């Protein structure tokens, strides 16, 4: 089983600042990686797939990068609606999710 | 507009059974893989099972032999039959659509809560 490790567990950021979230795979997942956003009481929402492709309707301030075992989700200028939990997911070999990074208001 | 509406959750005793349903609309149901993903209280996401457009099925080790996924293409419906339920199966269960088999999820339902407790 491929393990996905996200860091940090919690990220405190001021509105307008940049947020950088990391996701590491225990073995290569090529570019078969997705990022999701989840707000309290809501279902997750797809942000990024294939490591760097934004899903339909996702603002350009969200960007993904990486391949192999190291991946990054960057939110260039945090808006109030971006404070949420973010999960990465590999789909190269079955599915596994990371444990999530909570982005909170500083 | 893609819509996925889950139903069938509730309180069940350990060892009991429950059947979840997901009504799909807004897309050509027969063409897409469908999955169930769960989230325990205060926990992260866990993939449970997938059924491909062709009917191939896949299960997480934690539910293999206890859960059965199926689909009714004539009624645009997805199901999850859950038997021998355990306390650790307590979670919100999401119906999920993927662009192809064993890929990411591009649409999620709102979820249905399953509580396994005596």
Q: State the 10-residue block means of pLDDT for chain B, 118 residues long.
A: 97 98 97 97 96 94 98 97 98 96 95 98
Q: Are strands B112-116 and B10-12 parallel, antiparallel or unpaired?
A: parallel
Q: State how far residue B114 is from chain A, nearest Cα, in angstroms.
A: 15
Phi and psi, residue B104, nearest 5°:
-80, 175
Chain B residues closer than 8 Å to A99 by CB: 44
> Which of B94, B104, B107 is the closest to A49 by Cβ?
B104
Cβ pair B102, B50 in contact under 8 A: yes
Return the pLDDT at B93. Answer: 98
Handedness of CA B61, B67, B73, B78 (dihedral sign): negative
Mean pLDDT of A76-89: 96
Return the pLDDT at B7. Answer: 98
How far apart CA B26 and CA B81 sit, in angstroms, is 24
Mean pLDDT of A30-43: 97
Residue B61, classified by CB atoms within 10 Å of its CB into exposed (0-12), middle (13-18) or buried (19+), is: exposed
Question: Is B106 touching A (CB cutoff 8 A)?
Answer: yes
Return the pLDDT at A66. Answer: 98
Return the pLDDT at B31. Answer: 95
Return the pLDDT at B115. Answer: 98
To probe the interface with A, which of B5, B99, B105 has the most A CB atoms within 10 Å? B105
């Amino acid at each position: 089983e491929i393990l996905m490790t996200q860091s940090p567990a919690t990220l405190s950021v001021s509105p307008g600042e940049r947020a950088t979230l990391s996701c590491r795979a225990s073995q290569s997942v090529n570019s078969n990686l997705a990022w999701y956003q989840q707000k309290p009481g809501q279902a997750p929402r797809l942000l990024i797939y294939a490591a760097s492709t934004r899903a339909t309707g996702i603002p350009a301030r969200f960007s993904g990068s990486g391949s192999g075992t190291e991946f990054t989700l960057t939110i260039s200028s945090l808006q109030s609606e971006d404070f949420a939990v973010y999960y990465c997911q590999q789909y190269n070999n079955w599915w596994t999710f990371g444990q999530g990074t909570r982005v909170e208001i500083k | 507009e893609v819509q996925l509406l889950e139903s069938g959750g509730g309180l069940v005793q350990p060892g009991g059974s429950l059947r979840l349903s997901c009504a799909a609309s807004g897309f050509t149901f027969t063409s897409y893989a469908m999955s169930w993903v769960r989230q325990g209280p205060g926990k992260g996401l866990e993939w449970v099972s997938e059924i491909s457009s062709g009917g191939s099925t896949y299960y997480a080790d934690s539910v293999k032999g206890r859960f059965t996924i199926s689909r009714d293409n004539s009624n645009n419906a997805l199901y999850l039959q859950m038997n021998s339920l355990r306390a650790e199966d307590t979670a919100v269960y999401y119906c999920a659509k993927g662009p192809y088999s064993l890929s990411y999820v591009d649409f999620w339902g709102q979820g249905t809560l399953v509580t396994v407790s005596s």
